[in-house]
Amino acid sequence: MAKKYIESNLTNLVRARPIIIITTLHPDGIVNAGTFGAYTNVSGNEIGIAIGKYSHTYRNIKRTGELVINVVSKKYAYAAEICGRDIPPSKSELELAGLHPEKAKNVSVPLIKEFVANIECKFSKELEINYHSFVIVRCLSGYIEQEFIANDGGLDVVKAEAIFNIGYPEPLYAVLSNPFLVEQ
């Protein structure tokens, strides 16, 4: 194996995380849905997401302080692309994608009914970096499809066929397979 030395697009070397679709509310109550892949868990109940400052998602979060993180499975992969487009706020991406909002418990933003897991969140803090802001959100409560619960209670991303974008901005996705335990 021979490695190539590179100095640009370095974050692409660690880019794959299951895609999330964030739902938020526009001022008139229409549900907005945006696709995000640049995020990480920063504690047991906090997630940090790099969100473009000109996106509807960012503006809605800043205005209402609320959002829902929804985890997409392979069956609904097309929705990640629809929610990745710049759709005017008068139209909900959910409607365009044939998805349904469901009432949440602790926030006024609805979750996406068809998706395998949902986390109700509130804005905590942010760090502005050029065109993006690294937005840290506090997770309040969540839902998970019973058949996809892993041994530790979290989401079994293999079984659930959670999708990873592996060539952004290309619409190229993959699911994980063949999990293995490392012998010690």
Ligand X SMILES: Cc1cc2nc3c(=O)[nH]c(=O)nc-3n(C[C@H](O)[C@H](O)[C@H](O)COP(=O)(O)O)c2cc1C
The site for ligand X (CB under 6 A) is made up of 19, 32, 34-38, 50-52, 55-57, 80-81, 84-86, 132, 165, 168
Q: Return the number of the residue (81 or 149) whose C-beta is nearest ligand X.
A: 81
Q: How far is the CB of 78 from ligand X (least distance, A)?
A: 11
Lookup: tokens for 64:
């209402």
Q: How far does CA 32 lie from the centroid of its chain?
A: 13
Q: Return the number of the residue (124 or 149) whose C-beta is nearest ligand X.
A: 124
Return d(Cα 134, Cα 78) in angstroms, integer: 26
Q: Return the number of the residue (127 or 150) whose C-beta is nearest ligand X.
A: 127
Q: How far is the CB of 40 from ligand X (least distance, A)?
A: 11
Q: Return the number of the residue (79 or 117) whose C-beta is nearest ligand X.
A: 79
Q: How far is the CB of 85 from ligand X (least distance, A)?
A: 6
Helices (H) and strands (E) in the chain — how many of each? 3, 11
Return d(Cα 97, Cα 56) in angstroms, integer: 17
DSSP H or E stretch at residue 8: none
Q: Which residue is nearest to ligand X (CB)?
A: 84
> Strand, helix or coil at 82?
helix
